[in-house]
Amino acid sequence: MPGHFEPLPGGGAAVALDEVEISIIRSLAVQLLELIGPGPAEEEGADPLAGLFAEGPSEPPSDPVLKRLFPDAYGDPGRPPADAEEAAERRAHAAEFRRYTENDLRAGKRENALAVIHTLDGLSAAGAGGAVLELSPEDSRRWLGALNDLRLAIASRLEITEEDEADDLYRLPDEDPRKPMVMAYLWLGGLQETLVSTLLP
């Protein structure tokens, strides 16, 4: 079980994590929460009922990580628009779609990150020296979403667009300042892959 998820009888997954691994995942999840920011209903003085009907932003985020987490839904990045009219049409469709979906997407990503933090905090309270993390099927899906978001965030910071580029970064010398982030990216990828396998029928 060390280093990878295994299925639990009756559903769910388990993985053994040491104190350092718990600390790394928790810290990354907290940073992700801070980056995503609060929802409309969580802002100070906001009306929770109004928050349910709040429209989201219409422009893509300026931060490259958020842009990766919340990409435009319209347009084929591999095919540039044929003319200015098509480009304007794509922007209009993307803005409209973003306005009505981004708040929900952000809420889902916040819930996933919070699920990771809460389950790890439960482990920390259980004792020092590491522990076996056991996830229910629902928590497994939330963890899977959070692991995917964390890898996308790290890939964005490392400017990784293809998996092959991650392999090249793996060969970085130890003194390269990007090396710890690359190792975290690869480690989270292993966790993600084995967690996926526990969810397959």
Q: Does the CA dihedral 185-187-191-194 come out positive or negative?
A: positive
Q: Could you read off the pLDDT of 28-69 as tens digits, one per residue?
A: 999 999 999 886 555 555 555 555 555 666 577 788 888 888
Residue 191 has pLDDT above 70, yes or no: yes
For the chain, what is the mean pLDDT?
Answer: 81
Residue 124 has pLDDT above 70, yes or no: no
3-state SS of 109-165?
HHHHHHHHHHHHHHHHHHCCCCEEEEECHHHHHHHHHHHHHHHHHHHHHHCCCCHHH
List the one residue out of 63, 26, 23, 58 whose CA is nearest residue 153: 63
Give the mean pLDDT of 89-112: 78
Q: What percent of the chain has pLDDT over 70?
A: 72
Q: Could you read off the pLDDT of 138-189 as tens digits, one per residue?
A: 999 999 999 999 999 999 998 887 766 666 777 888 898 888 998 899 899 9
Q: Which of 66-80, 98-112, 122-136, 168-182 has the lowest mean pLDDT?
A: 66-80
Residue 94 has pLDDT above 60, yes or no: yes
What tokens does 11 get?
């559903």
Which residue has better confidence, 194 or 57? 194
Give the mean pLDDT of 128-139: 87
Residue 1 has pLDDT above 50, yes or no: no
In whole angstroms, give the CA distance from residue 124 to residue 79: 48
Give the mean pLDDT of 107-126: 89
pLDDT of residue 127: 58
